[in-house]
Amino acid sequence: QLQLQESGPGLVKPSETLSLTCTVSGGSISSSSYYWGWIRQPPGKGLEWIGSIYYSGSTYYNPSLKSRVTISVDTSKNQFSLKLSSVTAADTAVYYCARHQKGYDRPGRWFDPWGQGTLVTVSS
Amino acid sequence: EIVMTQSPATLSVSPGERATLSCRASQSVSSNLAWYQQKPGQAPRLLIYGASTRATGIPARFSGSGSGTEFTLTISSLQSEDFAVYYCQQYNNWPPWTFGQGTKLEIK
């Protein structure tokens, strides 16, 4: 079945750029039925959608993060990636990647399945 | 941005009993609502979409209802593995797709 796996540094210094990659296995990232998303969860807190990307490169970003976020896709590697610039301690969180179900009338609906998540700590 | 508000923050229920969790949207989201379950140290798992459709493999004791701004997740007879945190998420208006703050379901 479809699996997603996040990878990247677990520690990032303040003001630097957080970079993560999500590798998709058991299915193609080039499916026309899905977007691919990033969601984060600060320790002990709730879920925040960061952004989503289609295999063509079309993106949606959370307006609250838009100025700092870039999501890209590499269909040849079946991967998509997240870059978050100028990080602060407030960006410390578990970062999840997930498949974002596309709708006939909307770009994204629910998220399923999710990767296991990776904790990124922002600290000097 | 649509704000999703879940209540209560914590719900204490005995095994075998029924649990009712609520989710309210700041404006109508029609039936464009999903529910997730998250256990400690794990990723969220999709339970319900379209406000009332169970995802693949989800037991029948989980049911969702509601439309517009008021939604309910009901677990008919709690099993030990059901104690977790539950989130609702709207996908009617975007961006952003937004989640509630979660309800922790704990053993009474």
* pLDDT, tens digit (0-9, with 9 covering 90-100), for A7-36: 999 999 999 999 999 999 999 999 999 999
Q: What is the pLDDT of residue B33?
A: 98
Q: What is the pLDDT of residue A103?
A: 87
Whether the pLDDT of residue B62 is over 90: the answer is yes
Q: What is the pLDDT of residue B91?
A: 97
Q: What is the pLDDT of residue B90?
A: 98
Q: What is the pLDDT of residue A112?
A: 97
pLDDT band at B98 (very low <50, low <70, confident <90, very high): very high
Rounded mean pLDDT, B39-67: 98
Are residues A62 and B95, on separate chains, in Cβ contact within 8 Å?
Answer: yes
Q: Does A57 touch chain B (CB under 8 A)?
A: no
Are residues A46 and B102, on separate chains, in Cβ contact within 8 Å?
Answer: yes
Rounded mean pLDDT, B21-30: 98
Q: What is the pLDDT of residue A107?
A: 81
Q: Which tokens belong to B97?
A: 């797709």
Instruction: Tell me how far apart the alpha carbons of residues B67 and B32 are, in angstroms, rounded to a whole number.
Output: 8
Are residues B91 and A103, on separate chains, in Cβ contact within 8 Å?
Answer: yes
Chain B residues contacting A via beta carbons under 8 Å: 1, 32, 34, 36, 42-46, 49, 55, 87, 89, 91, 94-102
pLDDT in tens, A36-65: 999 999 999 999 999 999 999 999 999 999
> Of A46, A51, A60, which has the smallest distance from its Cβ to B87's Cβ?
A46
CA B10-B25-B85 angle, to 5 degrees, is 25
| CA neighbor of A118 nearest in space, from A85, A82, A88, A89 | A82
Nearest CA in chain B to A5: B43
Instruction: Tell me how far apart the alpha carbons of residues A25 and A1 are, in angstroms, rounded to a whole number.
Output: 8
Query: Of all residues in chain A, what percent carry a pLDDT higher than 90?
Result: 95
Whether the pLDDT of residue A104 is over 90: the answer is no
pLDDT band at A106 (very low <50, low <70, confident <90, very high): confident
Q: What is the pLDDT of residue A105?
A: 82
pLDDT band at B83 (very low <50, low <70, confident <90, very high): very high
Element (H or E) spanning B104, and its range?
strand B103-107
Q: Does A14 touch chain B (CB under 8 A)?
A: no
Rounded mean pLDDT, B22-42: 97
Are residues B94 and A111, on separate chains, in Cβ contact within 8 Å?
Answer: no
Q: What is the pLDDT of residue A89?
A: 98
